[in-house]
């Protein structure tokens, strides 16, 4: 596996080089700035399979560099693992939304870095296999809306790449990393569009896709105000992750989903002939058993969504 390591600290680069060589990774390249990293990518005949990237660098931060890398053909889904002394939720959320695949706070144990690199290698192998046999890919990779994060993504200009949505594995990585220092303030909200079939049938195929893209753009914008991220689960289900240190902020998350639905309705149904009808499930990490793993939040939110099936659904109301 070809690895590019980007960090402005030469000592960190030397330590990582020695470690990667010790565990069998010899095709490793190094850059001390964002500009140097982009030069490596531009002049490399063979694409890099994984990028280790520092967040705090002069002139161009690691988060800014991610956005440049993701625009390069062939680098839309290459795993980017952030290495940073900034472990607060704001920088983590920013990195994941920008396109990071994983995030390792400094200082870190080398075995943790090795684990993440091996995970990235396995992910690349899975994606390569799905590209050879797309009919065997998971269902979510076949959904038109999720082309921006699927193995079949081609790298051309596509409005779906600008939604800010993260993939399932990125969402799970973010959940596990952020949960460590912020257990008491972490919440997950799920939104299911109840009448998605009716909405898409009322629109042409292309317009139906744009409706989901438009809705997702507003969801990510609204959740960004709460340092949150959003993932699309398929079949009209969205998952949001954010922090809610008190009840008011939890209500803000729900209001964010409602505002996004309203904006989509206003754009696609100006005559008010249709409305996005949805229900919500939500769970707070602090309400789960103390020893519950972070990923259990996803199951708990899904269960809450199912239990809400018989309750009154929500409609994005327009102001009078």
Residue 313, classified by CB atoms within 10 Å of its CB into exposed (0-12), middle (13-18) or buried (19+), is: middle
**CA separation for the pair 98, 164 (Å, rounded):** 7
User: Tell me, which fold does domain 168-315 have in CATH?
Assistant: Alpha-Beta Plaits (3.30.70)
Buried b (16+ CB within 10 A) or exposed e, 28-42: bbbbbbbeebbebbe
pLDDT along the chain (320 residues), means of 10: 94 94 94 95 93 91 92 88 80 84 86 92 80 55 42 36 73 83 75 88 80 87 82 87 60 83 89 84 84 86 80 54
Contacts of 18 (CB under 8 A, 6+ apart): none
pLDDT at 212: 86
**CA separation for the pair 152, 86 (Å, rounded):** 33
pLDDT at 136: 55
Q: Residue ranges of the domains in the chain?
A: 3-132, 168-315
pLDDT at 161: 45
pLDDT at 154: 37
pLDDT at 130: 65
**Cβ atoms of residues 148 and 160 within 8 Å:** yes
**CA separation for the pair 143, 51 (Å, rounded):** 27
Q: Which residues are registered as beta bridge partners of 28?
A: 3
Secondary structure (DSSP) of 97-158: HHT-SEEEESS--HHHHHHHHHHHHHHHHHHHHHHH-GGGS-GGGG-GGGGGGSTT---S--
To the question of domain 3-132 being in CATH 3.40.50.2300, the answer is: yes
Q: Which of 206, 200, 199, 190 is nearest to 239 (CA)?
A: 190
**CA separation for the pair 201, 252 (Å, rounded):** 31
pLDDT at 270: 84
Coil vs helix vs strand at 7: coil
- The pTM score is 0.78
């Amino acid at each position: 596996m070809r690895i590019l390591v980007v960090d402005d600290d030469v000592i960190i680069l030397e330590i990582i080089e020695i470690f990667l060589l010790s565990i069998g990774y010899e095709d490793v390249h190094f850059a001390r700035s964002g500009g140097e990293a982009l030069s490596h990518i531009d002049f490399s005949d063979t694409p890099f399979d994984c990028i280790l990237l520092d967040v705090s660098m002069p002139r161009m931060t690691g988060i800014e560099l991610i956005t440049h890398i993701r625009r390069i053909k062939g680098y839309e889904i290459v795993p980017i693992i952030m290495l940073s002394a900034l472990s607060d939720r704001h920088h983590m959320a920013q990195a994941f939304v920008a396109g990071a695949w994983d995030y390792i706070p400094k200082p870190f144990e080398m075995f943790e870095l090795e684990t993440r690199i091996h995970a990235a290698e396995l992910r690349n192998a899975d994606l390569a296999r799905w590209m050879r046999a797309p009919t065997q890919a998971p269902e979510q990779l076949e959904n038109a809306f999720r082309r921006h994060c699927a193995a079949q993504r081609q790298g051309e200009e596509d409005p779906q790449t600008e939604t800010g949505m993260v993939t399932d594995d990125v969402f799970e990585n973010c959940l596990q990393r952020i949960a460590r220092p912020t257990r008491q303030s972490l919440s997950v909200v799920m939104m299911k569009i109840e009448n998605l079939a009716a909405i898409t049938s009322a629109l042409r195929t292309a317009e139906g896709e744009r409706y989901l893209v438009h809705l997702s753009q507003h969801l990510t914008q609204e959740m960004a105000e709460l340092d949150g991220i959003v993932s699309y689960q398929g079949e009209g289900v969205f998952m949001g992750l954010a922090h809610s240190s008190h009840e008011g902020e939890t209500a803000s998350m729900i209001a964010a989903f409602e505002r996004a639905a309203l904006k989509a309705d206003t754009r696609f149904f100006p005559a008010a002939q249709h409305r996005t009808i949805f229900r919500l499930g939500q769970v707070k990490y602090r309400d789960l058993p103390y020893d519950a793993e972070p990923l259990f939040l996803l199951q708990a939110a899904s269960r809450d969504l199912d239990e809400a099936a018989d309750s009154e659904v929500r409609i994005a109301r327009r102001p009078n």
